[in-house]
Amino acid sequence: MILNLPIEAAQGYKSASQRARVITETWTLANMYCPACTSNGLDKTRTGTEAVDFFCSRCSSEFQLKAVSKPIGRKIVDAAYDAMIRAISQDRLPHFLLLSYNNIDAIVSDLLIIPKFCFSKSAIEARKPLSSTARRAGWVGCNIILDMVPPQGRIPVIQSGIIFPKSKVRNEFHLVQPLSRLSARVRGWTLDVLTVLRSMDKVEFTSDDAYSFEYALSERHPENRHVRPKIRQQLQVLRDLGYLEFLRRGYYRWIK
């Protein structure tokens, strides 16, 4: 894997956005591998394929590339809000590749993988509708809120110019893969509970620690009036998935 961007790939393109797209897609095609299997390369989808830029010919995993010429922040701009929410509900998301590059030096600085099964609806924020004078008046886009994604679901491939070994990236990907066994209908609660619990940065915690997030979780799930029982249920789900062990009544420890 090299960090230099192939700026020569954009010869003939005048639009800055088109140039950036071609350059970052060419870099990804030449350098990125599949984190879900042992394939050392990805293939480009056909031009016009909606929401998917690359796929793995070995395991059929799909990927969407989001590239920005600035550090990756808390929010990533994405496409239509309704379409994103439907894709999560129907379990049709690709895995996301979030790439940050330095436009002056033409090098990649950061690259994150967010597996598709690490997105909940809570991680998607609606943007303001386009104004009545816009060509697509009323259209609503969305932002991906990264701190609403579990920390384990933000897998670094490159961080501040440092390239992580493939074995490490693939191991971290497989550690979150048990989440894919949950149906899209129930996965949202599990992801939200996992995210708030991991925000404590504790190896061990108590049920009271978990209940301290009752209000935050009720805001994310206003349709549920029984948040504490739901938190207890999700602690059992996380245990069954192999993420938690129950030490004794009301006490828990992270395994993964």
The CATH number of whichever domain residue 98 belongs to comes to 3.40.210.30
Q: What is the pLDDT of residues 125-163, one digit of tens each?
A: 999 999 988 888 999 999 999 999 999 999 999 999 999
DSSP state of 201: -
Query: How far is it, in rounded angstroms, from Cα 95 to Cα 65?
Result: 9
Residue-level pLDDT at 47:
84
Overall number of domains in the chain: 2
Q: Which pTM was predicted?
A: 0.93
- Residue ending a domain, among 124, 152, 181, is 181
Asked whether residue 36 falls in the same domain as residue 158, the answer is: yes
| Co-location of 71 and 100 in the same domain | yes
> Is the separation of the CB atoms in 88 and 119 below 8 Å?
yes
Same domain, 146 and 177: yes
Whether 242 is covered by a domain: the verdict is yes
Q: What domain range includes position 210?
A: 185-254
Place of tokens 């049920």: 207
Tell me the CATH number at 217. Answer: 1.10.10.10
Last residue of a domain, one of 181, 213, 239: 181
Backbone dihedral angles phi then psi of residue 112, each to the nearest 5 degrees: -115, 145
Are 14 and 127 within one domain? yes
Pair (81, 144) in one structural domain: yes
- Judge whether residue 256 has pLDDT over 80: no
Domain assignment of residue 1, yes or no: no
**Residues 60 and 106 grouped into a single domain:** yes
Please indicate, yes or no, whether residues 118 and 199 belong to a single structural domain of this protein: no
Per-residue pLDDT, 48: 81
Are residues 138 and 44 part of one domain? yes
In a domain, 2, yes or no: no
Same domain, 198 and 122: no
pLDDT tens for residues 189-210?
999 999 999 999 999 999 999 9
Say if residue 204 is in the same domain as residue 94: no
Contacts of 74 (CB under 8 A, 6+ apart): 145, 146, 147
**115 and 149 together in one domain:** yes
Residue 123 placed within a domain: yes
50 pLDDT above the threshold of 90: no
Rounded Cα gap, residues 113 and 132, in angstroms? 36
Q: Among residues 119, 147, 181, which one ends one of the domains?
A: 181
In this structure, is residue 12 part of a structural domain? yes
The predicted pLDDT at position 135 comes to 87
